[in-house]
Amino acid sequence: MNIAVTKEKLKPADFASDQEVRWCPGCGDYAILKAVQRTLPDLETPKENYVFVSGIGCSSRFPYYMSTYGFHTIHGRAPAFATGIKITNPELDVWMITGDGDGFSIGGNHMLHVLRRNVDLQILLCNNEIYGLTKGQYSPTSEVGLRTPSSPDGSIDRPLKPLVFTLGTGARFAARAYDTQKNLPEILKRAHAHKGTSLVEILQNCIVYNDAVFDNVLARDVAAEKQLHVEHGKPLIFGADKNKGIRLNTKTLTLEAVTIGDNGVSLDDILIHDEKNRSLATLLAAMDGRELPVAFGVIYCDPAETYEDGITHKIEAAKGPEAPSLDALLRKGHTWQA
Amino acid sequence: MNELKIKADPASSLRREASSVVIRFAGDSGDGIQITGSRFTDTTALAGNDLATFPDFPAEIRAPVGTTFGVSAFQINFGSRRIETAGDDPDVLVALNPAALMVNLARLKTGGTIIVDSGTFSERNLKKAGYKSNPLEDKSLDAFSIVNIDITKLVLESVKEFGLSQKEGLRCKNFWVLGLVYWIYGRDRSDTVDWLKKKFAGRPDIANANIAALNAGHVYGEVSEIGAITQLYTIPPAHMPHGLYRTVTGGEALAWGLVAGAELANLKIFFGSYPITPASPVLHALAKMKQFGVKTFQAEDEIAAICSAIGASYAGALGITSSSGPGIALKGEAIGLAISTELPLIIVNSQRAGPSTGLPTKTEQSDLYQAVYGRNGDSPLVVLASHGPADCFDVAIEACRLATKYMTPVMLLTDGYIGNAAEPWLIPSVADRAPFPVKKETNPKGFAPFNRDPGTLARVWAVPGTPGLEHRIGGIEKEDGSGNISYEPANHQKMTNLRRDKILGIARDIPKQSVESGDQTGDLAVVGWGSTYGPISRAVNNKMADGKKVSHIHLRHIWPLPQNLGDLLRGFDKVIVPEMNDGQLKTVLRDQFLIDAKPITKVTGQPFKISEIEGAIDAALEN
């Protein structure tokens, strides 16, 4: 850990590769790339230990634009590659970049299992609710009714909520942000500090095939009313006047938005955010900007033993006092002399 | 135990000496037939016989009791001479119920012996097995010698004192039978007794009941009028090359060979796998080798299994994955990525009968096309095939050598038969093998991820965590040298040529094809690969003894093929290729050498019989 202190601190530009970025002008991925490049200099990982792993899709080109080690793999399988990398060398600092199609459609099975195993990775899910690289078909996070080349009369697939899925797998960290969010590096640092799989859903605008899809939440004129930025230990307050809050309806076990001062509602009625409360996190993750605002920030964080540590411990436990000999093993048990 | 050993064999004078015997144990899936077979195997090996086994069991774990599809069998061929196959036709069939008799009778040699448990030949069981009348009473078994014993009743008597339930008591039946068979062949029981004590250390009552059943079966033989039940035999030890032996299955030898190969390459193993019949024994064996630093990962599916292994190779370990045909199909895209990124990788295919789910527990060699050709794009890799249980050890080491030296995936073909079968093994010394340590790139000066060794064409292996070598790789076509994404037409041609030439160049680094038996030229070459080794070897040797100019050539290197193979084959008037598929190696040989290789095919899920290969040799020589 002293290495980073003694070395000259790297700058964001030191993490940019010499490759020309090939995303469409105005793509949300640019902002995410910049946020990651702004985040890494503040971390203590030696540069050579970073590995960026991705699958297939627009966002999966990400590793080519980083000057770290990078592996652009195959569609949907990045979690499996990342798992093999991390188990092999737990010293490596592995970041996985995926999209809504790569991560939750073709790669849904791997996503489920990497999350439940709790391999120490950061997973950045660039969710633009559309297939970009294949030219605009609806994705597993697209809203019902979305008209695309493959759903000319409107999609009938019901959308998946990535963070609800994440919490359902038993994952230990879930956060949400959006591409141009100023404090995105802070959220990424929280994800990095968490030992275990950290999934960050980043709402990412696809300017070509699904432009402004998040405007109902992100547009300047609705932002204050439609965004709830959660903080551990603080009440769940939102609104331009900071007078709205989230209350638990104990009869229906659902969340409701209330205004402090109306109908006898006081600050005491408002829920306090608890990152270690999976039930609360699941309710917050499901808020979709219709009746309730969308939650941003670290929604859940409750560390547990990582998968690779489990493997390392088993190997340590299996080792005897002396170096093992294969020749001795082959001669164990039933043998006879001819 | 010693008393058992020192007791003189009262029947020694009546034992007839035999040079080899084939026994087939058969019963219900729940009868413990495979355990019976493996205990008999160990005892036979300790008695110094050469042997080969063929576990033949259904895909269903416990099919309904008494049904023909629930019959499990274990065949062993053992003798004082060299044994190369599990035997064409059994001399002895042990049938623990009517269904086992129904399924296996057709294989039995005319005049062979059948040991049956008459206690199971109830009307109900006969009906379930499809018998219209009791074969023990009608004259349908007149061509055989029948040893008809109510084993069910005798077993329950022998274990009465242990207070087991009827169900638990009947579970001892296999050991009662084993005791009787040990008597017939004059075998020592002590190894089996030791095994039972160890196996059931936590349930001494079960151990003792089984030991009592084993002894009771043996005593049954002893007290019967000697020779009255059946002819007794003695099979002297085989003359085998001097040294220390053990029995080994293909699954074990493969796992150990991979660990040995990784040790010689100075690498740690990462083994990513998903359970599939009949490949799982390799996963099981390696999961028990954590003390060697072996990391096994049971992935969520076949794709994740190979992808994790490729990730491991990228991170500097020797990534290995293992499956059977259907699973290999799922891995196809990822194999392409390993070819494109030029990372070392071993893919073990324990072949089974296909297509689709096929016959999961039955053996076949029908994934050769899949191994050599079965991916999108021009995507060459190395294909090796092991020819028997012990051979898996050497082939695994060769796979490790080629994968790391040439930075390439290697497909290692074995099959269900090899994986589960056992044979005696002259234990090799890993310490005496020449190491082939891998040199990873560490020097940033002039580094580019696709810099190549001009001799092998292998690219450098630069592992994350190495300062100054940060780089990106992926499945998009890359520029040679820099590794940067390149859509240049000429570059794709160049990279395709490089990937091809790298693999074909390996032909210079593998042994020239030798002839297993027979002359370098002649009337007929019998070319095999994989587990057909035993029957081809015996058949060719038999025909050579008849004065025929026939030779046996057996391929370990399927791709690239040995450099001299074309010339070697052209030295024969005719070439036949016995394969347990519809003629796959035949196609490759025709394509590569423009020779008229003729297929001899069999896809019944059963290995070739020696007589079948002999027939094919005769037919080829006559035409």
Q: What percent of chain A has pLDDT over 70?
A: 98
One-letter amino acid at B577 equals: V
From CA B227, how far away is CA B73, in angstroms rounded? 26
Least confident of A77-91, A276-290, B223-237, B338-352: B223-237
Report the pLDDT averaged over residues B227-238: 86
**Best A50, A53, A77, A120 residue to mutate vs chain B (most B CBs within 10 Å):** A77
Q: Identity (one letter) of the amino acid at B156? A: L
φ, ψ dihedrals at A93, nearest 5°: -105, 100
For B430, the closest chain A residue by CA position comes to A327
Could you tell me what percentage of chain B is helix, strand and coil, using 3-state DSSP and rounding each to the nearest 5?
40, 20, 40
Per-residue model confidence as pLDDT tens digits over B370-416: 999 999 999 999 999 999 999 999 999 999 999 999 999 999 999 99
**Chain A: residue whose CA lies nearest to B263:** A326
Token pair 């069910």 is found at B152
Q: What tokens does B213 get?
A: 């059943």
Please tell me the total number of residues recorded for chain A in this structure: 338
Q: What is the pLDDT of residues A134-168, one digit of tens each?
A: 999 999 999 999 999 999 999 999 999 999 999 99
**Total residue length of chain B:** 623
Kindly state the average pLDDT of the residues A83-93: 98
- The band of B593, judged by pLDDT with boundaries at 50, 70 and 90, is very high
The CA distance from A313 to the nearest CA of chain B, in Å, is 10
- pLDDT score at A6: 52
Q: Cα distance from A250 to chain B (closest Cα, Å)?
A: 39
Token match 């002008």: residue? A25
Neighboring chain B residues of A69 at a CB cutoff of 8 Å: 464, 470-472
- pLDDT grade for B6, boundaries at 50, 70 and 90: very low
Q: What is the mean pLDDT of chain A?
A: 96
Output the DSSP codes for B551-573: EEEEESEEESPPTTHHHHHHTEE
Q: Which chain B residue has its CA at the smallest distance from A107's CA?
A: B304
Out of B191, B300, B309, closest to residue A84 by CB? B309
pLDDT reported for residue B8? 63
Residues of chain B contacting residue A74, judged by C-beta atoms under 8 Å apart: 307, 333-334, 337, 475
- What three-state secondary structure class fits B71? strand
State yes or no: pLDDT of A4 exceeds 90.
no
| Phi, then psi, of A95 in degrees rounded to 5 | -120, 130
Nearest C-alpha of chain B: how many angstroms from A235?
40
- Bridge partners, B93 (sequence order): B24, B114
| pLDDT on residue B2 | 37
Does the pLDDT of residue B7 top 60, yes or no? Answer: no
Q: Quick one: tokens of B67?
A: 């049904």
Q: Which residues of B touch A68 (CB under 8 A)?
A: 470
For A276-294, what is the mean pLDDT?
Answer: 98
Q: pLDDT per residue over A200-212, tens digit each?
A: 999 999 999 999 9
Is A113 in Cβ contact with B430 (below 8 Å)?
Answer: no
Could you report the predicted ipTM of this complex, rounded to two decimals? 0.97
Is residue B276 within 8 Å of residue B326, measured between CB atoms? yes
Q: What pLDDT does residue B4 have? A: 42
How many Cα atoms within 13 Å fall on the side-chain side of residue A225?
9
pLDDT on residue B3: 41
In sequence order, what are the beta bridge partners of B578? B600
Which residues, including other chains, have CB under 8 Å from residue B35's CB and lie 6 or more apart?
Answer: B174
pLDDT for the residue B226: 57
B247, B293, B311 ranked by CB distance to A82: nearest: B311
Query: What pLDDT, on a 0 to 100 scale, did the predictor assign at position B227?
Result: 65
Show residues of chain A in contact with B51, CB under 8 Å.
Answer: none
CA–CA separation, B154 and B96 (whole Å): 13
How sure is the predictor about B12, in pLDDT bands with cuts at 50, 70 and 90? confident
d(CA B97, CA A296): 68
How many Å apart are CA A108 and CA A117, to the nearest integer? 14
Point out the residue among A51, A315, A331 whose CB comes nearest to the CB of B464.
A51
Q: Is the pLDDT of residue B5 over 50?
A: no
Name the minimum distance, in Å, from the CA of B47 to any CA of chain A: 9
Is the predicted pLDDT of residue A2 greater than 60, yes or no? no
- The answer, yes or no, to whether residue B179 has pLDDT greater than 90, is yes
Min distance B468 CA to chain A CA atoms (Å):
7
- Lowest average pLDDT, out of A99-103, A322-326, B341-345, B407-411, goes to A322-326
Q: Is the separation of the CB atoms in B578 and B526 below 8 Å?
A: yes
Residue B1 pLDDT > 70, yes or no?
Answer: no
Query: SS3 for B307?
Result: helix
Would the CB atoms of A85 and B312 count as touching at under 8 Å?
yes
Strand order in the sheet with A237-238: A237-238, A244-249, A254-259
* Cα–Cα distance measured from residue B365 to residue B416, given in angstroms and rounded to the nearest whole number: 9
**Beta bridge partners of residue B550, listed in sequence order:** B524
* Best residue of B472, B482, B487 to probe chain A, by most A CBs closer than 10 Å: B472
A88: nearest CA partner in chain B? B312
Residue-wise pLDDT for B76-85, tens only, equals 999 999 999 9
Structure tokens at B168: 């638990």
Bridge pairing between strands B522-529 and B550-555: parallel
The C-alpha of B388 sits at a distance from chain A's nearest C-alpha, in angstroms, of 18
Longest CA span, chain A: 94
Contact A336 B246 (CB under 8 A): yes
- Distance CA(B171)–CA(A34), nearest Å, equals 68
Q: Write out chain A residues lying below 8 Å of B311, CB-based.
A: 53, 71, 80-85, 88
Nearest Cβ partner for B333 among A74, A326, A337: A74
Q: How far is A298 from B264, CA to CA, in rounded Å? A: 48
**Mean pLDDT estimate for chain B:** 95
Q: Tell me the pLDDT band of B272, cut-offs 50, 70 and 90.
A: very high
Shortest distance between the Cα of A19 and any Cα of chain B, in A, equals 8
Unique residue bearing structure tokens 């100019």: B549
* Interval B510-525: pLDDT, tens: 999 999 999 999 999 9
Q: What is the pLDDT of residues B198-210, one digit of tens each?
A: 999 999 999 999 9
The residue whose two tokens read 């036949």 is: B576
Say if CB B97 and CB B105 are below 8 A apart: no
Cβ–Cβ < 8 Å for B535, B85: yes
| pLDDT tens, residue by residue, B450-498 | 999 999 999 999 999 999 999 999 999 999 999 999 999 999 999 999 9
Residue B542's identity, in one-letter code, is N
CB A219 within 8 A of CB A211: no
Query: Number of A:B CB contacts under 8 A?
Result: 196
Q: What's the token pair of residue B187?
A: 């075998």
Strand bridging mode B244-249 / A244-249: unpaired
**CB distance A330–B485 less than 8 Å?**
no
B14-68 pLDDT, tens digit per residue, is 889 999 999 999 999 889 999 999 999 999 999 999 999 999 888 888 788 889 9
> What is the SS3 string spanning chain A?
CHHHHHCCCCCHHHHECCCCCCCCCCCHHHHHHHHHHHHHHHCCCCHHHEEEEECCCCHHHHHHHECCEEEECCCCCHHHHHHHHHHHCCCCEEEEEEEHHHHHHHCHHHHHHHHHHCCCCEEEEEECCECCCCCCCECCCCCCCCCECCECCCCCCCCCCHHHHHHHCCCCEEEEEECCCCCHHHHHHHHHHCCCCEEEEEECCCCCCCCCCCHHHHCHHHHHHHEEECCCCCECEECCCCCEEEEEECCCCEEEEEECCHHHCCHHHCCECCCCCHHHHHHHHHCCCCCCCEEEEEEEECCCCCHHHHHHHHHHHHCCCCCCCHHHHHCCCCCEEC
Residue B432 to residues B260, B289, B316, B428, Cα–Cα distance (Å): 11, 21, 25, 8
Among A52, A68, A330, A332, most B C-beta atoms within 10 A, so best to mutate, is A330
Strand partners, B529: B555
